[in-house]
Every structure is written in structure tokens, then in C-alpha cells.
Structure 1
Amino acid sequence: MVILILESVQHIDQGALEVLGNLFSLEFGLKEDLLRELSLIGVNKIHDLSFNVDVLNIDELCSAAKLYSIESISVNYRTINFPPTTTTISEGIQYQYLSICEEIKEIVLVYESEFAGTLILLDVHLIFQIFSNLSLIDISSHVLRPTDFQSLCLSFPQSVKQLSFVYLNSNNMGKVISHQFMCFTNLETLELVASNISIIQNFSFIGLIKLTHLNLSKNKISYIYQNTFSGLYGLTALDLQENPISQIETNSFGHFINLCTLLLGDLNFSPHMSLIKLNLSDIFGRIPYNLSHMIISSGLRPMQLVIGSNTTLNKSLDFTIKGQYANLGIMFHNLTKLRTLILINCRIFFLDGSLTKDLSALTGLALMPRDHVNILQNFVEHLTSLRYLQLQGLNLYCSCDNAWLVSWVDNRQVQVSMYRPTMKELQCLADNGMDHLNFILYTKENCSFSIEFVLFVSTSAFLFFFMIGVLSYQCAGQYIKPFYNIASGWFREALHLNGKQWYRYDVFVSYSCKDEHWVINELLPNLEQRGPPFLRVCLHSRDFRLGQDIVENITDCIYASRRTLCLVSHNYLRSNWCSLEMQLATYRLQVEHRDILNLVFLEKIPSRLLSSHHRLARLVKSRTYLDWPLDPEMHEAFWHRLWCKLNSYKDY
């Protein structure tokens, strides 16, 4: 195999290269009239020709290809001259050009502009008519019209039947239109890199039944539709990196049943989304069985990635995730069949049970974190099937949360392989962020507790809470029962929220013993004997249980009565027992949120005196109450109104 590279040549003598015979590759620098002089160099055959020229004459190129049986040509040019194709030329002559250039199987055309950013329009239709036997074509730095490919398929489809590789990089295409490549049925690789593509219409790749590699990187693609890649069932590699992808429709990648590599690149979802969310099961429908390599990036924004539910893959899946990853555990959610997990060079700072909660079938785990990390003990609690654990390049923070690793690495059920560093060599980063300490020594000095210390702490805690309980009972024992009944009221309210509750009394009367004469002579006859129905009245002097604690009696009777009636007087305000009854009745009112507390003032109470009794003052301001009338003629109306109020329990 002879490869000859001539960077700068001014002149070539006739027969100068005759001694070389057949050349596999001949490469020239910039040389004018190269193609005309090429016939004089004396070699027999050139397989691969590369050169730079200002003016490329296609007819001279075809002649050279015929003369030396050139199969592959690569040329950088500034101007291109096509052979005449007007109607004045006979079909025979036109066919002659096509026949000459059938020798060329591979061609690379690169336009070199004198001014940066300037491109020329290339007639794709004409190129394929002249070079009609190509298996590879590479066109760079041109303006290409998408309709040229479509019209080519309609008028001259046989010219692309042999094509296997098409590279259309660094061109200006703008968009890919529907059915643009429908006649490229044998194409295996298509690259449209940096071609200013912002739109890919639905069904653009229909007809590419043998396509395995598609590269659309470095374009302006923002939206991927459900049928953007329709028909690409044989595709194994897709590169979409460096595109401002803002939305991917559901099942957009559902056509990729044989996909192995997906390079998705940066996701540029709406800035209104504080968290980029991507569910692979949504965009794939079903994740391809052979998928083995993915690259996804969210830039500087946080991302939440979900792989899918019970995904089964033929090979290991190599994930490269760039950006701030949020909630790593969601990525492995529902992967109950996953058997091997390898996390390499990941920026993970915290590993706990949320990551492994669904990995019950995992048998092998390898961790090679990029940064220092904390590993909590519940990280391995869910890994019931784990048999092999590999820890490489592990760097921990100096925290007692990691202390369990020291003893766990000797686990008999799990084979732990730890190197660079080993457990004895393992260092941890101190709280100051600078010092590195031996991890085993750190745990011994800071995380080990003697049995004596544990017993001392537990005994001291028991004695402390015991003393608190005794003192609480001595100081507030009489209030424990009321508070118990208040709590019970919450439960009774919940249990009888939609039904009616049975009460032993209709009304509990809270009054001062010094007002008992009025209660016996006035209240009881007008409440118990007025009816039907007749009210059941509860009085402490008559209905309290003998031998029972007074506070318990008060509490039981209040909650056993449908309502509480407070008879307010100067004597009432001076009584501690009446104050307690008012307090408990108020608690019940706050719990049950019903009209169960009624006030009757037996005498006028000055506002300044009432203000010192806060609960009663608030009730007076927020609720309607009755005054005992001094005029005897108004007594009957008073009792009728009070009886009707207390008898309105039928409503609930």
C-alpha cells in the first residue's frame, strides 16, 4: 500500500511517479491545473485522491477518475464548474459524462469561502446525476435546498440506490421536509450536523429502512413530534446533542425498537418549569431492549429523570447525566427487576434508602463516586438480594452516619471488594473541609459508645421522666381526668359526626351553692315540670356520685349532658368550682362547635368586674344570654324562652 502526500508542488515532470505503479492514496495541497497535469505523472491506478483547488471542473475530475480508476475523491474548492446540461447537447453526450463518473464510489466536496460564513448553493440534483454510482457522499459548507432531495427521488431515484453513507455537515438546510429521503432505501448512516436545522417535519425519514446511525447534533431543533422519527425502526444510534430541545411529545421515540445509543444532550425545557422532568417510559412507550448508552443534560437546572417501571434490558445501560440531579431515588423507582447497577463518576453527595427502596432484586452494585459522600445504613436495608458490592475510589465525610461501614464490609452474606483505598486506607474529610483523617480511627474516637455509658444514659433518662411524671401528678393530678375527658370529646365528636348521640341529662346546671335556694324554688319546677317533653336536669347537689372525686364528677356530668347552663352571679364569679365548670364547658364548646353553652345572669354584673374573668367576658361578647327579670310579670316569658332553648336539642 503506497500513500503519497505532497503539500506544495509547483511542477510535475512527465512520468515522475511511474516507479510507484499503483497508489492507494495521493494527496496534494493547493495546485492549479492539477487534474490536467495528473495524466502525465505516470502511475497506473489511484484509489483515493485528495486535493485543494480554486476552480473545480467536474468534466476534468470525471476524466481523471476514468483514467486512473479513482474510487474515492476528496476536494476543497472555491468555485465549481459543471459540464453543460442544456438542451443543445445530445443525450448521448450527457450520458457520456454520467458514464465517466460512475467509477467514483465516494466523494467529499468542501466549499472554502474567501469570506467567513459565506456559503454557495449546490445543485444536489445535478451532483447525483453526474456521480450516479456513489456509496458515500460528504458535502460540507454549502447551501442545500431540502426540495432538491425530494425532486431527486421523484425524477432520478436510481442514482442513490447504492448510497450507504451521507454526510451533510456544516451546511445551511434550515429544515428537513416530509419524505425528503424516501428513495434512500439502502442508506445506513446520515449526518446532518451543524446544518442550521430548526424544523423537522413529520415523516421526514420515511423510506430509510436500513438507517442505523442518525446524527442531528449542533442544530436548532427545539420540538420533537410524535412522528418526527417515524419509520426508523432499524436505527441503533441517534445523536441530538447541542440542540435547544424544549419539548418532546409522548411516544416520540416509540419507533426506535432497536436503539442502542441515544445522545439527547441539553434539555432546554420552559423556564417556567423550576424542575425539568423526563420519563423515559413516556417518550419511548417501551424502553428499547438493546439500549445501552445514553447522555442527557439539563445544563445548570435541576432535573428529575425516571427510567421506567420494570424495564428489562438486554445489555447494561450506561447513563451519563449532566447537570443538577434532583431526587436520585425517583430514577430507580419501580425497577424491581434490576440486577446490576454501576454508578461511575457520579456527583452524588448523599446515599440513603430512598435510592434503593425498589431494588430488591439487585445482586451486584458498584460505586465509584466522584466526590465525597455520606452513606446511611438504610442504603443497604432494601438490598435483600445483594451478593457483590464494589467500592472504588471511595471518599467519605467524617460523620458517624458512615460508621456502620466499618463492620459491614466484613458481611458474610455480601462479598465486599474495596480498593483504592481499602478500608484501612480510607480517609474522610473533616468538618473544616480541609483536613483528611483516617476513617477507622475517627469512628473509634467519635462514634463508639461503651455499654456503661449507654446504661448510665438510659437509667438517667428513666429516672428523669419518672420524677417528671410524679411531680406532674402531685401538682396537676386533679386536672388529668378533665383533660382526658376533653380528649375523649374529640373522639366522640368524630364517631357521632353523622349520627345522634345519647345523653343521660338534657342540661347540666353550673351555679354557686349560695344561689341554690333560687335553683330549687325557681329553676327546677319551671324546667323539670314543664312539658311534655320534660327536661332532665343535672345538679351537683343531687346528681353527683357519692365517693367520686369532685373534678371527675364535674367532668362526667358536663359530657353526659346535652347542654350546660351557667347561672352567673356575684357568688358565681367568686367560686373556684364554678370557674372550673365554666372552663370545662368552654373546652367542650371549642371541641364540638355546637350551641351547647347557655348563660343566665341572675343579677347585674358591672363590666369592670366581668372583664377580669376572660372566658366569661369573651362569651358575653360573642353569644346571646338571658337576664333574670326583676318584674314578676316577665317571669313566665323568661321560663318559656329558656325552656324552648334547652328543649331545642331535637335538632341534633
Structure 2
Amino acid sequence: MIGDIDALLTSIMPNLKTAYFDYNKISSIPDFSTSKSMIKELVFRNNRIVQIAPTAFKSFKEMSRLDLSNNNIRHLNETAFSANSRLESLILNWNRLTTVTGVFNRTPQIRHLRLSFNQIRNITAAFNGLTKLRSLSIRNNLLTCIPDDTFRDNRGLQKVTLNENDIQWIGRDAFQGLDKLKIITLRNNRLLTLNNSMRNLPKLQYIDASFNAIQGLETGEFARNINLAAILLAGNNISSVKGAFVAATYLRMLKIDGNRLLLISRGDFAPKMRSKPSLIINSLLVIILTLLAIYLRYGRAAKLWARTLGVCGWTPCTEEQDLYLEKLFDVFVSFSSKDTSWVNDELLPRLDILGLSYCTYERNFKGGFLLQDIIRDAIACSRRTLLLLTRNIKYANRELIHGNLCCRNFVESEWCRWEFRLAHQRALDDNINRLVIVLVDEEAAGALDGDLRLYVRAANHLRWGEPNFWERLQRSLPNNGAHKKVITEEPLSTRMTGTGGTELSKITAKKLQYQYSQDNISEKEVVVG
């Protein structure tokens, strides 16, 4: 029989760190007087301990594990531990404790707590302050309920064992905030419902509520537990699960044997399938909205592409906005004055044959105004701007001749490049592709400036001499045949000479008379300028 434990632990063995006194007949634990003890682990299990002195372990400041299991302890005072206790593991299984409220006020470092096989009836505020608690076992006690916020300070809790109690009710928010909880067991209690208390536990993997009196499960009872792998509900009175397992996609084991289920449907494990008419209507609605969004985003680009290929279908080959805008000309032809002969002999006659009205420097530019304003007005009054890109060409005998002695044409002209930028900006503002580019000279493509070169590469431009050139050009230009245009000339003595290679001569003022053949509307005179 050990008589003086205090003297044994201190004076005789001052460097002792671990002491086992299990399987003896110790009936009480006295106050240990020393404050210099090195004890870290102390075991008194399987004795006859009934009484523990109020400050029994106060001097053991370094103690991290205490085992008092399988004794006859009825009460444990909070003053039994040091105020700066480093206790991490406390085992009190198989005693006669009736309450533990306030016992752990001085042991905030506890990580593992064993209270099974006692007579504890209430744990409402028992674990307040135990912020580092990781595992808790309270099996075989006299608990009747688990109220809300019982574990409000134990957010690091990973495992809770509540088997073999008399629990009849669990608060809906009893486990609220336990974001790290992985295992919870409620086996062999008297639960009538889980009360949706398992919701919002993202790390939960294992639930055992077997052998209770559960009558049913709520819809979506386990839907938010995305990591749940095992649910054990055997030996209950469950007659309906009502979609409790919907979205439990990681579930590996489900035990519902020994219940009162009559029917299990697909809807209990997966979202309900909508009726066929509703599904068809919703699908059509999604398709229509998708097509509408695509049309609003890419409609104009698609129609331009279709017009280029000559496939218009139900869509008009010219943008609707073009048809209703009051424009004086179908196309403004932008070219270098050095290419005038070629334009007059090759291009303009074909535009006349196609029935298109066009605006050029010689025909329509009026004197007495800034050249910038005239060009801006010409672009604004035309549905399209046709750019003839040339560099090293001259015209002789109705043929294009290339050579080092030729003139510098469109790409060398500052005014022509300015016309491109102005027309391009106008197209961006109107959100309509108004530019039609004809590459007459292959060398011109390599001599373009950055903006024009980028646009030529991205746009579907035309090349002079390619097959079906005139057919493609006709599709690229508007064909508004609703009215007929008649041009009359009035000589004008004023002459204007532009810089940068664009020489304007033979300038005349034009009166464009719009006579609407369909509605027989009276003539309307407009002077360009």
C-alpha cells in the first residue's frame, strides 16, 4: 500500500516525468506540496479513489496527461488544476460524476476529453472556453438533450461520441459552427428526429444514429454535407426519407436496415425530374434566349459575312439601318488622283451599269471649303466608302503596268490615309461595316501603315483581277433600287488643289435630284458640300 504519494513524487524522485499508479487500492489523492515537479503524465486508473483534494494537481504545471478512469470519483473541483495548466488529455471514464460544469475553467489547453460511463445529466455550458478541444466522448451517461450552442466554443472539434445516453432531442443549432467536425455518433439513444441538426457541417464524413426511435428524415437532411461518406440509420422507425440524401454525392455507405420503409424513390437520392412538357418549354426558352443573345452580339457581322458569300436568305443583303438612312450616294470612291484615268475607265462605268450612285472628287467636291470638311461630308452622305489601295502603278493602254518608274499612289498620300481613318471611325460609331477595300496593287499591302494594314488583314477585302471580282463588289455595295438618282452639272470656275498627292481639278457643283419612283414624290434638290 502506497502511503505518502507526495513524498514519493517529489523528494525521492525529483526528475520523475511519468508515473503510473494504476491497479492499486488508492482511495484519495492529497494536495501535492511541491512546485518544482517535472511530472508530465500521471495515471491513477483502476483504483478506489473517492476523494480528490481541492488543489491536488495545482503544483503540476507541466502535466499534459491525467488518467483517473475506473474509480469512484463523484466530484472534481476546478481548483484541482493549476491556473496555467498545460493539461491536454483528461480521462475520467468509469466514475460517478454527475456534473462537470465549471470543472475545466483552468484547463483551456485540453484537446482530448473522456467522460464516458458516468452519471452526467447536463452538458449545456460544460465545455465553454475549451477552444482547442478536438475529441469528446460522453458515452453511457444520463443525457436527455443536446441544446443549441452546446459546443459554441469548440470550433476545432473533430469527433463527438454521444452513444448510449437517453437523448430524446437535439437542438437544430446544437452543432452549429463545428466546421471541422468529421465524426458524430448518437447510437442507442431515444431520438425521434435529427431535427436537421447535421446541416452546414462541411467536413462531416461519418454519422451513426442507429438504434434510436427516428420516425422520418427531413428533405435535404444531408444535402449540404458534401464530404459525407457513411450514414448509419439501422434499427429506427423511419417510414419516409423524403429526399434526405439529395446531393450526398460522396456517400459510400448507407445503412437503413431494420426500419419501416415501404418505398424508396429516385427523388430521395437525386433532384426530382421535371415533367416532360415543362422540360421542353424550359429548353426551348433557353435556346431562344441564347440565339437572341448571339444575334444581338454578332448579327451585323453575320449578315455582312453572308452578303459577302452571296447567301442572304431571309435577311436583306444590306443592313436595315442603311435602307432607311437618307443618304445621297451609295458609295464614296476614295482614290489617289494619280489613278484617275484607271478609275474613270475601269471602275466608274461598271458602277453606272450596276445602277449605283457614287461620289468622287471630280464630280462632287465643291470649292471654297476646307478639304477635311468636304471629305467628312462625302463619307457621311454615302452608304459605303470604297478605298482603292495602290502604290506603284500607272495606267497606259487600258492596262496596269508595274515598275520602278511608276508613281507613288494611295499609300503615299496623307489625304487618302486620312480618309481611311475617318471612314473607319465612322463605321465604329455607327456599328456598321461601311468600308469596302479593293487591293489594286499587291505592293500596296506591304507599304500600309499600322492601322490600315491591321484592318486589311482582318477584313474580307477584294483583290483586283481575282475571279468573280465584280460579283463580289456588287454584293459588298448597297443596292437600294427604291429611287432613281439624276445628276446634272453646273460649271464652276473655282479650282482646288489638294496636298499629299491628291490633285482636285474640273470641280463642279452637283444637284442631286431624288425622284422616288414608287411613291411619285416631288423632286428634292440637295447640294453636296
**TM tier, shorter chain?**
0.3 to 0.5
**What TM-score do you get using the length of structure 1 for normalisation?**
0.37
* Larger RCO, structure (CA 8 Å, separation 6 or more): 2
TM-score, structure 2 as length reference: 0.45
Compare the two structures and name the one with the higher strand fraction.
1
